Structure 1
Amino acid sequence: MFATADLCDQFSEELQIAEPIFKSFGEKRSFYGKIATVKVFEDNVLVVDQLEKIEEGSVLVVDGQASTKCALLGDRLATIAFDRKISGIIINGCVRDSAELEHIDVGILAIATNPLKSKKKGEGQVGISLHFGGVTWTPGEYIYCDGDGVVLAKRKLL
């Protein structure tokens, strides 16, 4: 078990601390792992693709460019993440099926909910550095999340 506050006390010089823009939707409230990234806009085809490909224990960071016009993840995709043992998903955008997400043992952070499903065009980018929430999310680096916040490190701290 870890606490982001303790990580900040011990490793503050090497951490980035994300702005507190996220709400927790998954059953798992504390999670960490290696970052995998995808950037999309109101289209979740690449989100599904990455959930089916990234390594077990990873955290998928989705830059939905802060759109609140539709959801990029719901219970079906969260179940894929659970089945594949993905540690968590962080979305700069919306989720749906929030009542069901509370019972899926995956860490899920997003900025809001919206019941509308996304487009299905397959447009976007994967495996790139993302910039939102006051930090840079770099593939292969590490992320630690709990009720106090989200911190990023260039190396595995636990």
Structure 2
Amino acid sequence: MTATADLYDDRGDELDSLSLQFHDFGGRSAFDGPIRTVRCHRDNALVKQVLASPGEGAVLVVDGAGSLESALVGDLIAASAVANGWAGVIVHGAIRDRVAIGALPLGVKALGSNPRKSAKHGIGEIDVPVTIAGVTFAPGRHVWADPDGVLTER
């Protein structure tokens, strides 16, 4: 994968750069792929459902409204993502089981961690455009992530 800084130097006019600062939690700090999305708030049933389906190298962008009150991804969901061929997960919210997730060959970026589990009611939306800190992540477009940050196609 090309470093995001180099990619931005080459294609900056075609890309949006996410200014919000995420932490790297997964065993892979650099990852990219086509975007899939989930919008949910403190309820990870749809995240679990999507990551249990074939990922084919995609990256799931989860708009959890920036909530750090409960985790939207834990070690079991992350392991399911690996088993199903996902490249990574970007969570605008919290994860948990960060040590176990760090041992998995999966890119995981999130705002932070919280051991508290989330609800499982299935409230939210799948594969809709989500906007995080002014950057829109549209299903089917491409996203690149590494320790420098996150870029997506406009």
TM-score under structure 1 length normalisation = 0.94
Please tell me the residue identity of whatever aligns with 1:135: V
Q: Distance in 2 between matches of 1:121 and 1:142?
A: 29
Q: Distance in 1 between matches of 2:134 and 2:81?
A: 26
CA contact (8 A) 2:55 2:81 kept: no
Percent identity, please: 39
- What are the within-5 Å matches in structure 2 for residues 30-45 of structure 1? 30-45=30-45
Please tell me the residue identity of whatever aligns with 1:102: G
Aligned to 2:93: 93
Aligned to 2:83: 83
Aligned-pair RMSD on alpha carbons? 1.0
Aligned to 1:58: 58
Give 1:148 shift. 0.9
Q: Distance in 2 between matches of 1:125 and 1:152?
A: 20
Q: Distance in 2 between matches of 1:75 and 1:133?
A: 27
Please state whether the residue corresponding to 2:67 is helix, strand or coil: coil
Flag structure 2 segments of 5+ consecutive residues without an equivalent: none
Deviations 1:100-121 (A, max 9, x none): 1110110000001000000111
TM-score under structure 2 length normalisation = 0.97
- What are the within-5 Å matches in structure 2 for residues 84-123 of structure 1? 84-123=84-123
CA contact (8 A) 1:43 1:122 kept: yes
Give 1:55 shift. 3.2
Q: Distance in 2 between matches of 1:143 and 1:6?
A: 14
Deviations 1:10-68 (A, max 9, x none): 00110000013210000001000000000001000000111122531000000001111
CA contact (8 A) 1:21 1:133 kept: no
Q: Distance in 1 between matches of 2:15 and 2:54?
A: 24
Q: Distance in 1 between matches of 2:109 and 2:150?
A: 10
